[in-house]
């Protein structure tokens, strides 16, 4: 089987990259892709349930995005640098995303705070920095931390408080409950509390799992042979109650709808054959490409993703490369909004 990354490229007009959310979450458009009939249907997200059997189990990723994007000033030359906290290594020591040439020992200062940090080293594409006081860092994040939006959503350091406050609210699912992600599971951004209530009233079942989305999900594939790409591991957990719901619905042969690619990657790493008594947790670097046999995902709700990305490869694996490309071409032609704040696609 060919594994050429260039086969998964497409031209996307820049104006289709959504820079801000719609006034209401459920105003998004919905492209319904029927894999059996090979058809494409245009609808609105608010009508999602009309395309599903009432016996469908919806599985959500309840991770919560932490506002870990902050700005610092290099002490020696007063240059501003952007920092995104990725992973805590030990008390006060963090792995971060930080650009520019940095030397060990460089001091970083933070506005209106006694907080300082020191650059320790590079660790692959990440930097390692140590903060002067973990408690002061926590307080600083609460006051000045911004949502770590993907780079294709353009924000400036001087953006208005209203825009930044909107990001804090809208770059977060309404059911987020488990702190730890640096990116939102964007398929879930379309759901409102009234829609979730309506789904329950119409007897749809729901389960939750957690995958703390890290930078690995968006790491570019830098090799032409995409089979040689390696995903970074991300932490996941499934409670016995939610495991039981998934197992029960699989046993009954009820359709399982994965809300998002992150949910899909957790579902497809597990074997739901018997109940568990303790929460299942660990790390997954699940990388799904065309040719994959899906065991636990019958339907997939997702946003529109970047060309040549691991996310588009996953969509191509689930829908088939030809149908996935046809769906994306149609979405571009019909001027759907793309990426995190964009519209949704349901693959049946």
pLDDT in tens, the chain (348 residues): 779 999 999 999 999 999 999 999 999 999 999 999 999 999 999 999 999 999 999 999 999 999 999 999 998 888 999 999 998 889 999 999 998 888 999 999 998 899 999 999 998 789 999 999 989 999 999 889 999 988 888 887 767 778 888 999 999 999 999 999 999 999 999 999 999 999 999 999 999 999 999 887 778 899 999 999 999 899 999 999 999 999 999 999 999 999 999 999 999 999 999 999 999 999 999 999 999 999 999 999 999 999 999 999 999 999 999 999 999 999 999 999 999 999 999 999
Given this model, what pLDDT does residue 158 score? 67
**Whether residues 40 and 140 fall in one domain:** no
Could you tell me which residues come within 8 angstroms of residue 124 by beta carbon, excluding any fewer than 6 positions away? none
Whether residues 301 and 193 fall in one domain: yes
Same domain flag for 74 and 52: no
Whether residue 154 is contained in a domain is answered as: no
- Residue 232, domain CATH: 3.40.1780.10
Domain identity same for 285 and 175: yes
What's the gap between Cα 287 and its chain centre?
A: 14
Instruction: Report yes or no on whether pTM surpasses 0.85.
Output: yes
Which strand (E) or helix (H) includes residue 124?
Answer: none
Domain count, the chain: 2
In terms of domains, do 247 and 116 share one?
Answer: no
Same domain, 198 and 272: yes
Residue 100 pLDDT: 80
Specify burial of residue 131 (Cβ count, 10 A radius: 0-12, 13-18, 19+): buried
Count of residues for the chain? Answer: 348
Examine the domain organization and report whether 189 and 260 are in the same domain: yes
Are 34 and 121 part of one and the same domain?
no
pLDDT at 325: 97
Contact indicator for 241, 224 with CB cutoff of 8 Å? no
Residue 272 lies in a domain: yes
Residue-number span of the structural domain to which 135 is assigned: 69-145
Neighbours of 55 (CB within 10 A): 13
């Amino acid at each position: 089987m060919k594994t050429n990354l260039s086969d998964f490229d497409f031209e996307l007009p820049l104006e289709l990259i959504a820079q801000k959310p719609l006034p209401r979450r459920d105003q998004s458009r919905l492209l319904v892709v029927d894999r059996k009939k090979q058809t494409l249907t245009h609808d609105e997200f608010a009508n999602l349930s009309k395309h599903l059997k009432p016996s469908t189990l919806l599985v959500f990723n309840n991770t919560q995005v932490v506002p870990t994007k902050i700005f610092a000033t290099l002490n020696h030359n007063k240059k501003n640098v952007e920092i995104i906290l990725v992973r805590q290594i030990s008390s006060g020591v963090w792995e971060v995303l930080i650009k520019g040439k940095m030397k060990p020992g460089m001091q970083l200062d933070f506005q209106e705070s006694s907080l300082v940090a020191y650059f320790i080293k590079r660790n692959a594409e990440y930097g390692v920095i140590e903060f002067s006081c973990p408690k002061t860092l926590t307080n600083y994040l609460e006051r000045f931390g911004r949502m770590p939006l993907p780079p294709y959503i353009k924000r400036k350091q001087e953006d208005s408080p209203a825009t930044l406050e909107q990001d804090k609210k809208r770059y977060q699912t309404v059911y987020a409950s488990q702190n730890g992600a640096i990116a939102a599971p964007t398929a879930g951004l379309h759901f409102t509390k009234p829609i979730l209530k309506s789904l329950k009233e119409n007897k749809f079942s729901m389960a939750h799992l957690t995958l703390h989305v890290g930078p690995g999900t968006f790491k570019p594939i830098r090799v032409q042979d995409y089979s040689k790409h390696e995903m970074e591991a991300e932490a996941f957990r499934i409670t016995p109650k939610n495991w039981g719901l998934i197992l029960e619905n699989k046993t009954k042969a009820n359709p399982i709808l994965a809300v998002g690619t992150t949910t899909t990657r957790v579902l497809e790493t597990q074997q739901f054959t018997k109940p568990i008594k303790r929460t299942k947790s660990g790390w997954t670097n699940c990388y799904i490409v065309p040719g994959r046999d899906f065991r636990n995902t019958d339907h997939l709700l997702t946003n529109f993703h970047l060309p040549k990305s691991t996310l588009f490869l996953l969509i191509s694996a689930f829908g088939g490369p030809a149908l996935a490309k046809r769906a994306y071409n149609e979405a571009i032609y019909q001027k759907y909004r793309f990426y995190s704040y964009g519209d949704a696609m349901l693959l049946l």
